[in-house]
Every structure is written in structure tokens, then in C-alpha cells.
Amino acid sequence: MKPPSAFDRSYEDWLSIFEEIGQPSYRAGQICGWLWRRGVTSPSEMTDFSKPLREQLASMFDFTPPVIEDESRSGDGTRKFLMRLPGGAKIETAVLKQGDRVTACLSTQVGCPVSCPFCATGAGGFERDMSRGEIAYQLVVMEKFLGREINSVVFMGMGEPFLNTDATLGAVRILNNPKTRGLGIRHMTISTAGIIPGINALAESGLGVRLAVSLHAADNELRDELVPCNTSYPLDELIPVLHEYQRATGDRITIEYAMFKGKNDSLDHARSLVRLLRGLHSYVNIIPANAVTPRYSRSLPRDILRFQSVLKAAGFESEIRVERGREISAACGQLKRDKAS
């Protein structure tokens, strides 16, 4: 039987492990430093451990990391990676650069079961959930590859984070722990299609991670088409949960709204969105959609600006997302799809 992954162990796990094998507690900090700060994934290179201890650790745990198999770069600094997990499954990750800020877009599932019709990931089907270590260690693999630190994370790569809630929140805790990666909690955002149990779990966790909700429509009929999980978690249930989340956390919620020509980009659609979000402290991120199928094409720039003007007139903060990585098919699932064809 294959040994368990070393990357799935938290700092607290390592404390227990070293206690069980008769080692001092400071060893937990040492191994976390090797794995999460230096990106060293072979016990034989952990030089402050004795040779017998290195051999013991190698026999107890699997230290095989994800591997970057392919890379695409765009002129704006976006870099996209096709990454192979131990066992052979393939996922996509991306790094976006804006000034001095470097953000990693992490996947939480291999494929996605939500199957939004405009998304290349959904078109590729769903294989499995990722473990907390697989999710978190994407960051370290990219940092080592790039030779620089990444200072923020968004869980909005392949998959729906709140259909894999325990592993996603476990990855947050690993990345946030000062003994492992030490990434600030406010430098992490979880993006969901509106999975209510996951939103509730995040509120109850008290972690303080930022929340983004991919809305894309302000009525159930249209959202059923664009975001199929809306049939299970419709807007009349989702919006009250967002209000309750905000009362519990005090946090502003980001609303993601991808715009498609003739589908959800009219002035009436904008007014409906204003009515839906009334009373919610939210920030609307307007996204000129990446067209991955002819059925859903990008809204015209003038229609995007008109849509935003309605939101601003109603007092909502909003921004039109600056598109990055278009020439390298940076939408989730496109690189994996292209390499498989």
C-alpha cells in the first residue's frame, strides 16, 4: 500500500508524528520549513535530520510532489501551468501579475461537476476531489518554478471549492499557519458558484478568508442555464445566506458577474442585479467573458460600460476586470483541453 502524502500533514500532525517516533517537537517546525518554505521534497536533502530519521520519514510518507508538465505565457505576465498530480491526474494552475502583486489561482478538484456551459473545465468532466495537500502544494510548486514568492491566492481554478469543502478549508489552514507557509488569511479568497453548505461552513470556521460568489445572473431561469447548481441552490435561498454570512463575519462579499453578449448584459439585467443585491455589502467584479464556445460570446465594450453605469448609479462598488492571459487560453480548462486534443 502506498504511504500517505507528506503534504497532507499539518504542523499539528507533524507534532504528533514526531512525538510518536520519539523525536523532539521542534522537528515539526523543521520539516514544515523544508516542505513549505524551501520547497524541498526529498527527506535525503533535509540535512538537519539524521540519516536514520531521513530514511524513516521516507518509508513512512510519500514525498512525491505535483510536477509542472507544460507552461504558457502571455505578454501581460500571466503564466499558466499544466500540472500532473501523483497518480497521473492533471490540473491547471495560473499565476497573475499586477504590479508587485503576484496571485496564484489554485484548483480544488480534477475537473468540475458543476458543468457551467461556458466553462472549459466543466466540458472536460469531473474526475475526483483533490486532497488538502494537493490543493495547498500547488502554491509551493509554482513558487519554486518561478523562483519568487507568491503573495496571494484565489481558490478559483479547476473545480468548485465548496463541493470539496473540508479539503479546501484544510488547505487554507496549512497555507496560513506560520509554521508552514505563513500566508496571510486576508490574502486568500475562495470563489464559489453558490454552494450554500460550503458558505455556511466558511462562516462557521471563523477563518476570515475572503468570499467571492460567481453569480452571472439575477434571476433563477437564466442562472439555471449559466450556473447549473442554481437548481439546487436557487437565488431565493442563496441571497439570504449571503446576508447571514455577512452578519456573521462582517466581511464584504465579491460578486463575480461574467458578461455574455445578448444573454445577461442588458440594462434590465443590470437593474435586476441592483434589486437582488440591495442591502448586501458587496463589490461587483464585472468580467468580460472568455469565450470557449460560440454559444456564449463576449459582451461588447459599450454594453459592459452601460451595465457598470447602472451599478454605480445605484451606489455599488464595481470594477471591470482587466483581462489577462487571453492569448494563452487562460480560462480554466483550456490548456488541459488543448494539450489533450
Point out the residues that are catalytic: 92, 332
* Other beta carbons within 10 Å of 305: 12
Q: Are 158 and 109 spatial neighbours (Cβ–Cβ below 8 Å)?
A: yes
The residue written with cell numbers 468580467 in the block is 287
Q: Which helix (H) or strand (E) holds 9?
A: none
Nearest to 236 by CA among 208, 194, 268, 297: 194
Cβ burial 265-301 (10 Å sphere, 16+ → b, else e) = beeebbebbbebbeeeebebbbbbbbebeeebebbee
Can you spell out the DSSP letters for 240-290? HHHHHHHHHH---EEEEEEEBTTTS-SHHHHHHHHHHHTT--EEEEEEE--
Quote the CA–CA distance of 124 and 107 in Å, as a whole number. Answer: 14
Nearest to 199 by CA among 175, 168, 228, 178: 168
Can you spell out the DSSP letters for 181-212? T---GGGEEEEES--HHHHHHHHHHT---EEE
Quote the CA–CA distance of 264 and 270 in Å, as a whole number. Answer: 8
Can you spell out the DSSP letters for 54-110? HHHHHHHSB-PPPEEEEEEE-TTS-EEEEEEPTTS-EEEEEEEEETTEEEEE---EE
Q: What angle do CA 222, 225, 230 make, to 5 degrees?
A: 85
Q: Are 108 and 155 spatial neighbours (Cβ–Cβ below 8 Å)?
A: yes
